[in-house]
Structure 1
Amino acid sequence: MHGPASSGWLLVALCAVTGVYCLVRMRSGGGEQRRGAGGEALMGFGMAVMAVPAAVFTPPSWAWPVYAAVFGAAGVHALWAARSGAHHLHHLVGAAAMVYMSVVMAGSPAHAHGRDASGIPLLTGALLLYFAGYVLLSGVRLVPVGALAGGGRTGGDAPGWGDRPELARACRLAMGIAMVAMLLTL
């Protein structure tokens, strides 16, 4: 799904670390936060596996349909969960993008893992626009309100690693950037 091996490994590391942090968030949160973090962990690990450089590992032909099935199931789950929250719609779009990339890779000559693979340009472009917009919006949300107003953080105990909303936003931003990078190479 990418060009040079060094950028591929950076993408793998970024997605894997994001997946690990989302697992940490699953342990500390409850209910809705746990389910959201679980979906994000699946996405992070799935993107990490999909981004492994082809020079190191070319998945067997059966792997792409398995990826499509796993993320298709994640998309159905996100669609069901979207009844209660809008953020699940983003999970639905992310799962659909992963299914799309898996199908494109399965249909590429000799399962090229990023070489000579091409999808439907209009759909790829629409997904790129969505995720580029998501990245910009996520970046803006990372700017602390206190920093904009000239204030600082006020009182209270520091939350645990899994309960820090700015880290969750940073992980979403990282996965959005990774999705843009993967779609650009499609």
Structure 2
Amino acid sequence: MHGPSLVSWLLAVLTAASGGYCLSRLRRAPCARAGEAARPRRLRAHESDLAEGLMGCGMAAMAVTGTAVPGEVWAWVYGPPAVLLLLAALRRPARRAHRLHHAVGALAMTYMALAMTAGQGHAGHHATGGSPALTGALLAYFGGYALWSGSRLLSGSAGAVPVASAGLPRACRLSVVIGMFAMLLTM
């Protein structure tokens, strides 16, 4: 990631905390005895937590390591989950939009990693990598998603965030999206 190192470290802390929280939510048992009707919902929540945890921790690692890790490695980390999420969204209509959002995030991570590698330049000069049109489209998508998600977060119970219910997971998802926007902005 180009830009001041303080911004990289702050982004790394924010996304690592969000990703760590999402991964910690995986410890809940998906097959708890609350009933068979609740089981599919818990499995979808685990899928979402896993995707968001992977994105958050990966963004933290990318922000800190920069180009020290080759872009091809990151492409192999994020490419297969993107393909799996795209296939799952096409095969199952339940939560299609959510899976597509995670697939776009994984594809954006792959794109950023490959663009950073391609744009390293020579003799210490930083060249910009990636397509300006694609970067702009991703910025528009994640910026719009951040505004939509933030408004949903604040609209619950007269502006107060219900932390015990869905407020904290939504806030973590929002911070990961804001981190993605910031990383795209510095490309």
- The two structures have a TM-score, normalised by structure 1, of 0.83
CA drift of 1:25 comes to: 1.6
State whether structure 2 residue 174 is matched by structure 1 residue 173: yes
> Which letter does structure 2 place at the counterpart of 1:97?
A
Say if 1:111 and 1:185 are closer, same or farther in 2 by CA, change over 3 A: farther
Candidates 64, 75, 80, aligned match of 1:68: 75
Partner of 1:51: 63
Amino acid at match of 2:142: F
Question: 1:110: Cα distance to partner?
Answer: 5.3
Residue aligned with 1:31, SS: helix
Q: Distance in 2 between matches of 1:37 and 1:9?
A: 23
**CA 1:139–1:4: 2 relative to 1, 3 Å:** same
Q: Which residue identity is paired with 2:185?
A: L
Task: From the superposition, tell whether residues 169 and 113 of structure 1 become closer, same or farther in structure 2 (CA, over 3 Å).
Answer: farther
- Residue 114 of structure 1 deviates from its aligned partner by 10
* Partner residue in 1 for 2:51: 39
RMSD: 2.5
Q: Secondary structure at the match of 1:135?
A: helix
**Per-residue CA shift, 1:74-107, capped at 9, x if unaligned?**
1012112322312011001101101111111121
- The AA in structure 2 aligned to 1:4 is P
Q: Distance in 1 between matches of 2:123 and 2:43?
A: 40
Identity %: 47
Taking the TM superposition and a 5 Å limit, the aligned residue runs for 1:130-145 are: 130-145=141-156
Assess, with a 3 A threshold, how the Cα gap between structure 1 residues 5 and 77 changes in structure 2: closer, same or farther: same
Distance 1:112 1:20, change over 3 A: farther
Distance 1:66 1:31, change over 3 A: same
Q: Where in structure 1 do 4 or more consecutive aligned residues deviate above 4 Å?
A: 110-114
Equivalent-residue separation in structure 2 for 1:152 and 1:128 (angstroms): 26
Matches within 5 A, 1:149-168: 159=164, 164-168=165-169
Amino acid paired to 1:120: S
Per-residue CA deviations over 1:109-145 (Å, capped at 9, x if unaligned) read 3599993232100000000000000000010011143
SS in 2 for 1:109: coil
8 Å CA contact 1:105, 1:113 repeated in 2: no
Aligned pairs, how many?
171
Q: Provide the secondary structure at the position in 1 that maps to 2:157.
A: helix
More RCO (CA 8 Å, sep 6+): 1
| Amino acid in the other structure paired with 1:137 | W
Map of 1:13 onto structure 2:
13
Residue equivalent to 2:84? 77
Q: Deviations over 1:11-56 (max 9, x none)?
A: 00011001110012212253111111001111011100110165xx
